[in-house]
Amino acid sequence: MTAADDLRASLAHETQHLLGATIAVTDEQWHEPSSLPGWTRAHLATHIARNADGLVRLIRGALDGTPAQMYPSDEVRDAEIAEGATRSGLELQQDLDASAGRFGQAFDELAESGRLDAVVTMRGGAEVPAGLLGVARLGEVVLHHADLALGYSLTEADGPALQALLEWASRRMGRKPEMPPVLLRWEGGELSVGEGEPTAVVEGTPAALLGWLTGRDGGAVTGADGIAPPPY
């Protein structure tokens, strides 16, 4: 298996895991708080679904060779999330399922097209090869599965997924001016976040480091005293 095959297998597995975990969630539980401030689980589910559609727009742009945006504007994105959060549990589940299917189909088309190197622009402004949209999506699925507060932990993600997510999150966080440069180190690997001399060496398991970097719980890290990464 290539690294790209590993990633697609991890994405398929994590997506199924997320969808499976939502089956028994009641309407009442959907409208309870998630672990993201101000968002219920229903906001989060809507966000996960609209993110899939936003990434599909980027893939379609990459396939057509035309510039595309994930969302028409931040206001439209936020309004869709607020409106979607009022729906029933059944509607939320169907949306999560259908949007994940649309992403999977579009990403398969991209992989078959040979356009993986076409440059797309993320909502935050980063220009990345379209092939990285798979790991961008994996991040949304894994991190927000944890945020749904349904008992899922980052420690459940497999090794290749955690490695790919650490690389993606390190690049994304390294672009933030508020993030001090650090070196992440785990058994068998290390990764720089940001440029320049690291201000600290932060050590832990890949899940713990991913959790620390993105403001979630993945286990204990050492060496991070006094450093609080900005919001992911």
Ligand X SMILES: O=C(O)/C=C/C(=O)CC(=O)C(=O)O
Is residue 102 a contact residue for ligand X (CB under 6 A)?
no
Please pick, from the candidates 63, 116, 122, 149, the single residue that binds ligand X as defined by CB under 6 A: 122
82 binds ligand X (CB under 6 A): no
Q: Where on the phi/psi map is residue 87: left (φ > 0), alpha (ψ -120 to 50), or beta?
A: beta
- At position 33, the amino acid (one-letter code) is P
Q: Which stretch binds ligand X (CB under 6 A): 47-55, 56-64, 150-158, 198-206?
A: 47-55
Residue number with the shortest CB distance to ligand X?
A: 124
Of 19-27, 117-125, 178-186, 221-229: span binding ligand X (CB under 6 A): 117-125
For 196, other C-beta atoms within 10 Å of its C-beta total 8
Pure H helices in 31-88: 41-64, 74-84
Q: Which residue of 119, 126, 201, 220 would you call a contact of ligand X, by CB under 6 A? A: 126
Tallying the residues shown for the chain, one arrives at 232
- State in angstroms the smallest separation of the CB of 126 from ligand X: 5
Contact between 22 and ligand X by CB under 6 A: the answer reads: no
Indicate whether 77 belongs to the interface with ligand X (CB under 6 A): yes
Write the burial class of residue 150 (CB in 10 Å: 0-12 exposed, 13-18 middle, 19+ buried).
Answer: middle
